[in-house]
Amino acid sequence: MREQGPTDPTDNPFHRVTDGWETVVEDMHATAAEYREAGWHVVAVHPGDVAVLTGEPRTAAEQTGEYEPDAPRLGFDVVVPGDEFAAFRDAMADRTVAECDVYAATGSGVVYLVVVLEAADGETAGLVPLYYVQSDREALAEVAREYGLYTHVRPLQDDAVVTVEHDDPEPFFPERAVE
């Protein structure tokens, strides 16, 4: 095993993210309740992990060239519990997303988002909370400009994925979000 020195805590966004994450999830639940009261079928997911995918190698196999994915995912990679993934897939996979509303806030160098995906049937909505650290903003914005912006919702085992393309990436990059 190779020796590692102490990690600079400012490099690890974990504590910065968790400070605001509970509020984001509460906001998602409040938004879901409003949709349900209006008669919508709502599936809200609770990510165990959210990663920003910019095309940079993420694993040791990718970094050494031992593995090159056929079509790398770009945008947000959202890992959710298996049962929530199944419900999200069943609700959203075969529906066209007609409207995408993004609610944003910032704090401690993190951008928090609640994404509401309204299906064209006017009856179904999927809610996905996301975040990214400000240091990832430019790389993510560049990916959005060049390739479009996507959210990939998947279970841990990565054997299935629901991918949503966001027609308008601008709301994901708030200039002045609520602190």
pLDDT digits (tens, 9 = 90+) for 52-94: 999 875 545 445 665 455 557 899 999 999 999 999 999 998 8
**Residue 113 · residue 103 · CB < 8 Å:** yes
Nearest to 164 by CA among 173, 174, 155, 154: 154
Q: pTM for the full model?
A: 0.83
User: What b/e sequence results for 24-59 when a residue is b if at least 16 CB atoms lie within 10 Å of its CB, and e otherwise?
Assistant: bbebbeebbeebeeeebebbbbebeebbbbbeeeee
Q: SS in 3 state form for 91-110?
A: HHCCCCEEEEEEEEEEECCE
The pLDDT, as a whole number, for residue 73 is 83
Alpha helices in the chain (DSSP H): 14-37, 60-64, 82-92, 137-147
The pLDDT, as a whole number, for residue 85 is 97
pLDDT digits (tens, 9 = 90+) for 109-118: 899 999 999 9
Nearest to 109 by CA among 28, 177, 7, 8: 177
